[in-house]
Structure 1
């Protein structure tokens, strides 16, 4: 960082970590189907819980749940508006059970009271209000048996004992219509179900190339139309409507650069009224004129991006989120009949007036000609003309998303804002293998985990250096899950590029990663083998070892910080233990932070804040940015530092 840039940054206040990574004041707002209630997540004694209030008196709240250790990750309303449902696991093990709280009495109960079990929603109905379909893997952890769950009595009725299928599709009558299994090619076979019997032969067979971009998207209420998101015979996933009587398909919507991402359906008929697609930014396209008018009305009144978070059964009231991009995200109650828009909450009022920075959507060209949709945030006070290039190169953090079958997107990003405020440019790249940009882009990443997928990241660094954005000697790589793996690849395969790395729950050995996947992922393992490498063949095993950072640990030259949850079911603790041991064997220093009560990522705010305090100190030491004093944040967490505490200076 040049003296001029550093001097300018010194006039900008540090945003406290707590303001970015602490609990929001409110989040996750919903309106009940009958419109009588509003609900949201808010902290109670430091833990995120579910609250509700009358929709005509939202300032008269009731707390409905009593989580004391881990935040509730997700909740929703029962179709009949009489109860709130939520999921919760233990210590990050991802064995999510389903719980219910009665709105009238406040009585709470577990609806899936089983040990070592993961419950999932299979189907819900717009006309059958007191029953849903749930999948439960308590009999065989690999497969979810389908049950009808009576939300009034709590009774579970077995609908289908599952010994083969990845998933199911049901209609509004809660009748199972399809069973889905992985095929030998790594794609999906889709079998029709008639009178509870699965057909012997699949009606639809999808190859691996289309497996991540083709799926059923639900029936209309009367079952006359089945919607598909389908990339077969094309590149991006388009929306089709299939007449279930004749089998005829009609193209409803398509986008040339992005997969169709979401739809709005008529609350009574289930007919698609609008759709969205996200390339660099999200585009909303209305089919129904009234929905189009409502979206246009909102667009005139909201700055930045917005979306519909929740709707009533009569579709009169919507709960709308709004991301102004350089101000806290807000939620509004929109009454379509009265044409009123009322602020419901501000997620983080403490960030009001904070020096939040704009995000720049950019396209980067890879060495072999692929366009990589990417997102850049610059430190404050370094880009006076707002063109996305600082007056002088600054330190940069390459922030790599997980998955890898996921994507980065435009909008408020707390990691971007935090790191930019500390003095770093932050670049997030949708490297090949990322989802949302068509099947060719995904499949270009097959068997390229440390190859062309990593080349894309290096090409993005070169782009940033050539543009005058990043100082070549001050670029860090950081990420979680696949992003953690990419960090380890960066420091082992291309050790000259990065000044340091931060690996969060990243696998170091792809052989052991595949040996220890959760049992409920086993029906999908063929796709892992085809996209990553196949450990069941000598050639495949040798290939997986060749792209595993563990076997190149001796090549690490630059400082490395590792964060891991002890209960992670996806990337086991052994993945971090192995690379730490290998580095120690070669006399290479490493800092290792372990959280005994976390899983795949750090969800307790005190733990997340503690790891970020450590990360700030680490990056400040090796890149030269700013850091807020750690104080007692690490002591307040459950963090254990079995290796390298002496490198931190905390």
Structure 2
């Protein structure tokens, strides 16, 4: 669980999932909503004439290279079931760098280590750019942390690797054709991440994430020494995004003005913040948008109900508006662009049922679609997503989203069956953009409530911190309060309600199954945490894990009784409703033993439980095969316990392999 909560401290998951040993009637609807997006990551070559992307076909990830305007890829490379590419970027027009996850077991944990692989533009001659001298036992090794592409050097890049000390990376100059590593900056006990300026000179080091205070260090000319920088009024958050022209001008996400995080210039020479670039009083800034050449900051990205970009640089704003007009999408996200800004890859993420990417020549005003995406959801009407707010019992305002079955509005949806779907994290949030699970459930005829309970991100640091050590307390109360709001508003039929959650949302689902039998008729969870003492014990074996997880949920030495009471696996006898649990076998965020503990306890108590073990399934069930199995079973589960939903088209048998 820690690895999804604290990206800086460990792994973020990708997933895989294999065929199961059973067959059942496949719903065409489940097949449509389980289908992968047209691409998982995309990159434009420096000349702007080739596009590389990660795609999924038949539950296997592939790399593809498309010449601009081509009707088929010029090169394809398939990964095996145990490998998942994370991202890709061009190194010149003739080499492609790809981050790949490598499953590794450490105790009860399935952890993903990473490697950086260099391919020719024909996707041949792969070279693993790796330091294989790994001397660590309880920390996954990351070897894809790109520090700088060195665009003026046609052979080398800078990569930091933590193969010697946990969170103490050494920076290497790496030859992308041979894989040869040359030490460029030695590890330092104080630094966990190195930052280079636009020219490729390493300027700064960031401190250890296990510590609670903000630390910043200036790199000395000698390649292992640093000087601590005293920060003035930094706030709880001080996240360096890059440099604005001068190495002393840091582009920083900070909440020093409170209550939300904004984007600022922090001038090291002046010793403080000198410019506010973007600040919203309700929502946190998410990221900085840099100029095409990476030298200057030109905008900011943030989420309200959907993702927005705000450009404070006139030329960047004009270019983005021009791209949006050319592809006829006003809310346009520029995914990648050439250094001169002429060629752009753009898409509209705000109607992302099936995202289409476009190649745009901003000078000649030419637009071409990229790839050949299919739209399996073309026959399904999008469900309406309505932003709402409700008051928690202590008066805190909880933002949330209600998704209604197609054809219904807030006024016409009266007394319908509902699914409450709390998000994972807990340090994450839902929004009004396309959510495959919420849209699938709504297409069955159910309403969906997605509460952004306290502890969610995006609404300021105080709101996030309000969820600390409140997993089974105030956070669970927020979910209950949202459910009762649905009933009081007349939207939900109180006799036909189910709770469904993923990861931390799965934890809340299982806790609701224990404590709220009066509200819900059924509960389902994907990859849930179910035993908090066991989670603390196992996370404490990993470097830094104990410190972070105890901060989030508590200590066994002082909070044992509460942690026991907030562990659904230890209260399985109190569950009074049917339960459906699914878990992937290569989940590197929540160990599958957490689900197994819950299932074993439910079975021992004689409860109604079904457990789906999804081969090669990771935390998100991103491969189609595992996601399809879960959607099929969830459809039957919901229709059985709170249905019936809408009438189903004729089903076909699922082939078994």
- TM-score normalised to structure 2 length: 0.85
Matched, 1:401 2:429: no
- C-alpha change, 1:447 and 1:179, in structure 2 (3 Å) is same
Matched, 1:366 2:395: no
- C-alpha change, 1:191 and 1:532, in structure 2 (3 Å) is farther
5 Å-filtered alignment, 1:432-443, equals 432-443=454-465
Shift of 1:233: 4.1
The partner residue of 1:102 within 94, 97, 120 is: 120
Residue 487 of structure 1 aligns to a residue whose secondary structure is: helix
The partner residue of 2:95 within 83, 91, 104 is: 83
Q: CA offsets per residue over residues 293-346 of structure 1, 9 Å max, x none?
A: 233334555357431111111111111111463853221222221233333356
Q: In the alignment, is the contact (CA less than 8 A) between 2:454 and 2:466 conserved in 1?
A: yes
- Which residue in the other structure is 2:106 paired with? none
Residues 125-134 or 526-535, more deviating: 125-134
- C-alpha change, 1:506 and 1:360, in structure 2 (3 Å) is same
State the alpha-carbon separation in 1 of the partners of residues 83 and 356 from structure 2: 21
- C-alpha change, 1:356 and 1:348, in structure 2 (3 Å) is farther
State the alpha-carbon separation in 2 of the partners of residues 123 and 26 from structure 1: 25
Q: In the alignment, is the contact (CA less than 8 A) between 2:113 and 2:142 conserved in 1?
A: yes
Residue 234 of structure 1 aligns to a residue whose secondary structure is: coil
- C-alpha change, 1:347 and 1:501, in structure 2 (3 Å) is farther
Matched, 1:508 2:530: yes
Shift of 1:464: 1.6
Residue 454 of structure 2 aligns to a residue whose secondary structure is: coil
Q: In the alignment, is the contact (CA less than 8 A) between 2:187 and 2:224 conserved in 1?
A: no
Residues 299-308 or 501-510, more deviating: 299-308
- Which residue in the other structure is 1:112 paired with? 130
Matched, 1:445 2:467: yes
Gaps of 5+ in 2: 1-26, 104-109, 135-139
5 Å-filtered alignment, 1:297-336, equals 297-300=322-325, 302-303=328-329, 305-323=331-349, 325=351, 328-336=354-362
Residues 504-513 or 120-129, more deviating: 120-129
Residue 543 of structure 2 aligns to a residue whose secondary structure is: helix
Shift of 1:575: 0.9
- Which residue in the other structure is 1:8 paired with? none
State the alpha-carbon separation in 2 of the partners of residues 464 and 166 from structure 1: 46
State the alpha-carbon separation in 2 of the partners of residues 120 and 414 from structure 1: 29
State the alpha-carbon separation in 1 of the partners of residues 416 and 319 from structure 2: 43
5 Å-filtered alignment, 1:156-171, equals 156-158=181-183, 159-161=185-187, 165-171=191-197
- Which residue in the other structure is 1:415 paired with? 437
* Aligned positions, number: 611
State the alpha-carbon separation in 1 of the partners of residues 636 and 434 from structure 2: 24
Residue 64 of structure 1 aligns to a residue whose secondary structure is: strand
Gaps of 5+ in 1: 1-13, 637-650
Residues 285-294 or 72-81, more deviating: 72-81
- Which residue in the other structure is 1:228 paired with? 252
Q: CA offsets per residue over residues 78-104 of structure 1, 9 Å max, x none?
A: 342332222333457422222221115
- C-alpha change, 1:139 and 1:284, in structure 2 (3 Å) is closer
- C-alpha change, 1:295 and 1:89, in structure 2 (3 Å) is closer
State the alpha-carbon separation in 2 of the partners of residues 622 and 392 from structure 1: 19
- TM-score normalised to structure 1 length: 0.86
State the alpha-carbon separation in 1 of the partners of residues 560 and 339 from structure 2: 53
- C-alpha change, 1:143 and 1:471, in structure 2 (3 Å) is farther
State the alpha-carbon separation in 2 of the partners of residues 206 and 516 from structure 1: 36
State the alpha-carbon separation in 2 of the partners of residues 475 and 89 from structure 1: 39
Shift of 1:630: 7.2
State the alpha-carbon separation in 2 of the partners of residues 306 and 261 from structure 1: 16
Residue 502 of structure 1 aligns to a residue whose secondary structure is: strand
Q: In the alignment, is the contact (CA less than 8 A) between 1:32 and 1:38 conserved in 2?
A: yes
- Which residue in the other structure is 1:49 paired with? 62
- C-alpha change, 1:550 and 1:282, in structure 2 (3 Å) is same
- Which residue in the other structure is 2:175 paired with? 150
- C-alpha change, 1:176 and 1:78, in structure 2 (3 Å) is farther
Residue 148 of structure 1 aligns to a residue whose secondary structure is: strand
- Which residue in the other structure is 2:641 paired with? 622
The partner residue of 1:121 within 121, 128, 145 is: 145
